[in-house]
Amino acid sequence: MEPKQYTPPLGHAALTPLYDVAIRYLTREKTWRSALAKQIDLNAGDRLLDVGCGTGSLLIDLAKSCPDTELIGIDPDEQALAAARAKAREAGASVQFIPGFLENAKLPAGWYPNKISSSLMFHQVPYAEKSMIVDQMRGLLAQDGEIHVADYALQKTRMMRSAFRITVQSLDGVEDTQHNADGILERILVSEGFITDKTMSFSSLTGSISLFKAVKIA
């Protein structure tokens, strides 16, 4: 059986060492990532799982802001995880990084997150798997848990659609990314048993990046 395929950061493994720099300067990373961290509102005792954690930037920021938490990142890209571990060691951040996909994640026994996050991952995932991953996130959440997503969602304006096309889609391809530009996240993150909001959007040189929050209710 062949290993499950995934899209590396920036679409090509050779570009992974450039990922952090590209995201920093092309996506207004400081602005949207700070907003995402504030929305997550990490508190002592929280358990957070970051799905598609990549090079670990969000988790390291969260660990530094609130160290008395349990933070786990999962990603199938070993090259990206190696960079994440190195960054965490340098920052003195306590984060556990696990290789693999969410569907077969080897999480600690009995460990269930009360918060799940994902940033700039869904646009790289095939259409059929986007909904599957959201369902898996919902199934893992503790009661009253929250899902927080930052990603390319509906590209409302001609300028944002053009920016998305000549940057993100030129690297990651059109097949998986177009669904995001057409608004799939706005649909699949809404579900019975959850209160879901699209909380804010940010224009960037690569298109519009939107934040979502879904809260599990009884």
Question: What are the residue ranges spanned by the domains of the chain?
Answer: 9-216
CA dist., res. 96 & res. 91, Å (int): 14
The residue-averaged pLDDT of 105-131 equals: 95
Residue 4: pLDDT above 90?
no
Which residues does 60 contact at the CB level (< 8 Å), separation at least 6? Answer: 84, 87, 88, 91, 93, 95
Say if residues 76 and 6 touch (Cβ distance below 8 Å). yes
Task: State the Cα–Cα distance between residues 198 and 210, nearest whole angstrom.
Answer: 7
pLDDT score, position 2: 58
Mean pLDDT of 155-173: 97
Q: What is the pLDDT of residue 6?
A: 86
Q: What is the pTM of this model?
A: 0.96
CB 160 within 8 A of CB 209: no
Decide if domain 9-216 falls under CATH 3.40.30.10: no
Q: What is the largest CA-CA distance in the chain?
A: 48
Single-letter residue type at 19: Y
Instruction: Report the DSSP beta bridge partners of residue 27.
Output: none
> Strand, coil or helix: what is 59?
helix
Q: Report d(CA 126, CA 190) in Å as an integer.
A: 19
Report which of 178, 156, 176 is spatially closest to residue 165, judged by C-alpha positions. 178
Strand ranges, E, within 105-145:
115-119
pLDDT digits (tens, 9 = 90+) for 41-86: 999 999 999 999 999 999 999 999 999 999 999 999 999 999 999 9
Mean predicted confidence (pLDDT) in 117-137: 96
- pLDDT at position 143: 87
Residue 185's H or E segment, with its range, is helix 184-188
Evaluate the CA torsion angle 54, 58, 60, 66 in order and state its sign: negative
Cα(140)–Cα(5) distance, integer angstroms: 23
What pLDDT score was predicted for residue 1? Answer: 52
- Tell whether the model's pLDDT for residue 16 goes beyond 70: yes
